[in-house]
Every structure is written in structure tokens, then in C-alpha cells.
Structure 1
């Protein structure tokens, strides 16, 4: 009997050690991705080729301060839902957004009491996209990368530029133009298909909505489909020396209209990598 108990205890110890190792490796993967974005090139000044409305957006966001840091760092308090009607679950997140070059890393986690029940990495680094999720920080439940995922994550980088006015002013890879209907288009050249999003401005010139067609969306079965995508931005205010929308929501558009899957608020913004 004692040998059986000893064996069970030993097995649990091994499982616990494996859990800690896998959780640590996942955190280390996220940290390595963040390090690559933060180590990117510093901005080389404000672009002189921006359409007037785009330049005004960026300058209003930075207060006229030239972009200096390679990345901006955000923290978020948010909610997510896996499907319409499935209920909203609170999450905490932090994000780093490249300024001079396209790139971001979004890390989110959900707590159940004192334990992390779900940890997510969503990223676009050096032209490659990744979406990975683990239960309890260690048990893999999703990992999608390559192919259309790269374009989908590039589209996310563009869609979140309202939170990164420094990148609006300094990222020379983003191609901007004003459309005939007054919307502003942001584009990243990619092969075989560019990443494109369009922004709607209010009367004051602030971005209030993002729309994009045919964004790759990964379902619960791991399959990717192309769907129309929409985001909304609210409550512009000052945080970390930048004027950005403090609240937003994003979701897909289908037969029943707009169905958001993320909504939240910005709780912190800084250019300091130690944030």
C-alpha cells in the first residue's frame, strides 16, 4: 500500500513539474516575441508623405511630439466571448505595438481565483502571425500560424493604429490614402494579398470605426474562413502622454449583423519597455 501511495505522489510531482515547465516555456515564448518588437528600429522622424487627415490624426495623438521609441506598451481590462450568446468572460491583457515597423504582441490571461485558467498569445512579428492559447498556462488548446494567419494578424496591426499614434506618423511600411467617401485606408503590402483596413472619422477627425473585408477568422474547429471585420472606438482621452480612444470593441459581421467578441478599455500606455 505504501508503494502505491508513493507512486501516486511521485506521479503527481512529475505532472506538477511538467505543468510548471510548460507554463514557463509559454511565458518565455511571449517574452521572446515582445523582445523582438521592442528591439526594432527607432523611428526616423515624422513622415512627410502622409495625407493631411492622417497626419492630423497622428499629431493630435502625440501632441506634436516626434515618435522616439521603437514600441508602445498598452495594458487593457477587457471581456471576450467565444461565440454570440456564450457569455462574456473578463480578461486582463498587455500589448506591445511596433512604431517604426509593423508588429505587435498581445498577451491575455483569465484568472480563476488565484490561478491562471487561460493564457493567450496573439502576435505579428517580422511578418509572421501567431495565435496560441493554453489552459492553466500549460495545456495547449490552440496554435495557428502561417499562411492566411500572417495576413490576418497584419490586419490587426493596422486596425489598432488608433492606439499607436506614433506608428501612424512614423511607420513608413503603412500605405495611406483617403477614399472618395471620406474614409481612410491603411494598407500593408503582402504576398499574395495585401492587408487592408478602412477607418471612418467623426466630424472632429477622430477614428470611430474600422472596417475590413475578408479577414481570416479561425473557428473552434481550427478551420479558417474569410469574414468581414469591424471595430469601434470611443472615449478619446489622455493616457501616458498620448490622446487615444480609451474604449473599443471588435467583432465580425455576418447575417445577423455585427457580433463583437472583444470589448474593453485601455488602462495604461507607455513608451517604457519596463511597463
Structure 2
């Protein structure tokens, strides 16, 4: 009995040690990514939002920006976002698991680091880095922060998909939607417009749809790279944003959902709510 007790104590101590080691390793990787993100920053060309920038923009874009940006609002340099929500762990059906995350975004040069923790079982988490840093796309989940499940890093398709995420989430940091910040617009119809963003060798175009209230409702890409097994397959992708609220003088959506549009139908994989957001100007 005594040896059994000693064995149980040893197992508990080992589990606690691995738990702490996993978090330490993951925190170190997160810090390295954040340091690289900060090193890649550049200075914005303008300091404040000038409503004259709206002249010549497609009508739904100008209407949206008039609502969400007060005149003279400082250009957003960086953002800290805290989320909670659920993540779909299946690529074919719906298998939702809760997550929490922190995200750092810089708007010039565009980039972000999303550090998430998905709870897949009691006491067992998958830690995830999803990032676009200095033109490189990064996706790396690790079980307990120690066992890498996948490591995708490149300046091609992965980077392209991550820059799409930056564009789609610009509703959270709306000065990034301005032409002076690199976003170029062309009209589609009375409620839609296409936005184009260039960063390095990557040139992206996505379609923004605006609701009857004039606010961004959906953002769509026709060919975002979807990871299926060991392959990346271009797939239509859609982000939905809603529940607009005032945050630090800006009107932003605090809830969202993203989904792949597959031949079998719409497959949501992320649903989240902003619990905190802090702007750096």
C-alpha cells in the first residue's frame, strides 16, 4: 500500500511538472512571436482619421466608416483582444470545444499573433498559435503546449490565408479599412464592395457585404487555403460579424462566426465573443 501511495504521488508530481513545462514552453514561443511582430512594425503615414478620405469610396463603405469612426479619431496602431468562444474540431461535422485566447494586432505592417487554448477534455488543452508576422503565415497547435500536432509556416498559401484573417477582422480596428492604411475599394452593388490589400508579394481581394443598417455584415473570400490532411485546398470562406457596440469611441462588432463554404454546405468552425479590447494609438 505504501508503494502504491508513493507511485500515485509521483504520477501527480510528474503531471504537474509537465503541465507547468507545457505552459512555460508555450509562453516562451508566444513571446518570441510577439517580439518579432513588434520588430516588423512601421510608422503610419497619417495620424488621424480625416473624413475627406471617404470621398470617392463606394457608398456602402463610406456609410459604414461614417458610423463607426468619429471625426479626428486617432489611427489605430495596435490592438489587444481577448476572446472566448468555441472551436469546431471536426472538418466534416460539428464537434465544438470551448476556447479562450489573447490576440495582438499591429496595423502597419499588417500582422497579428493569436494565442488560443482549446479545452478538448477535462484538464487537457490544445494550445494554438495562429499568426501573420513579417509576411509569414503560422499555424501551430500543440497538445498541452508540448506535443506539436501540426506546424505550418510559409510566405505562400499559409501567409495568404492569415492575411485574409487580418483583413476580415479589420472591423475590430476600423481605421485599417481606410485607403491611407493600404485598403483599396471598388464597388460591387448598393450593399457590397471589394477590398484589396497588398503586403509584400501577397495581393488579396475580399468582398464585404453591408447590412440594412450600413454596418459590415459578412466578409467573403473565394479561395482561402483550407488544410485538409496534409494538403491546402482553396475553398470559399466567410466571416460573419454582429452585435455592434461602442468600445473606446469606436463602433465595432463584438461577436462573430467563420465558416468554410463546402460543396456539402456551410461548415462553421469558429464562434467567438470579444470580452476585452484595448487600442494603442
Give the structure-1-normalised TM-score: 0.83
Which residues of structure 2 form unaligned runs of 5+?
Answer: 1-5
The residue aligned with 2:3 is none
- Give the C-alpha shift of residue 72 in structure 1: 1.3
Partner deviation per Cα, 1:38-97 (whole Å, 9 max, x = no partner): 562454233755516434433432333423442111111111112243421110112122
Distance 1:135 1:267, change over 3 A: same
| Partner SS for 2:29 | helix
Pair 1:62-2:75 in alignment: no
Separation in 2 of the partners of 1:166 and 1:28? 31
Judged with a 3 Å threshold, the aligned counterparts in structure 2 of structure 1 residues 28 and 256 are, in CA distance, closer, same or farther, namely same
**TM-score (structure 2 length as normaliser):** 0.81
Tell me by how many angstroms 1:20 deviates.
4.7
Q: Match for 1:101 among 109, 114, 126?
A: 109
The answer on whether the counterparts of 1:59 and 1:169 sit within 8 Å (CA) in structure 2 is no
Structure 2 equivalent of residue 34 of structure 1: 34
Are the counterparts in 2 of residues 69 and 271 from structure 1 also a CA contact under 8 Å?
A: yes
Give the CA deviation at 1:35. 3.7
TM superposition shift of 1:186: 1.6
Residue of structure 1 in register with 2:208 after alignment: 199
Q: Which has the higher strand share?
A: 2
Match of 1:160 among 164, 169, 175: 169
Distance 1:222 1:22, change over 3 A: farther
Q: Aligned partners of 2:258 and 2:139: how far apart in 1?
A: 17
State which drifts further: 198-207 or 168-177.
Answer: 168-177
Deviation at 1:117, TM superposition (A): 1.1
Q: Which structure 2 residues correspond to residues 1-275 of structure 1 after superposition, within 5 A?
A: 20-21=20-21, 23-38=23-38, 40-43=41-44, 44-45=46-47, 46=49, 49-50=53-54, 51=57, 53=59, 54-83=61-90, 84-111=92-119, 115=123, 117-146=125-154, 147-169=156-178, 172-180=181-189, 182-189=191-198, 194-219=203-228, 221-271=229-279
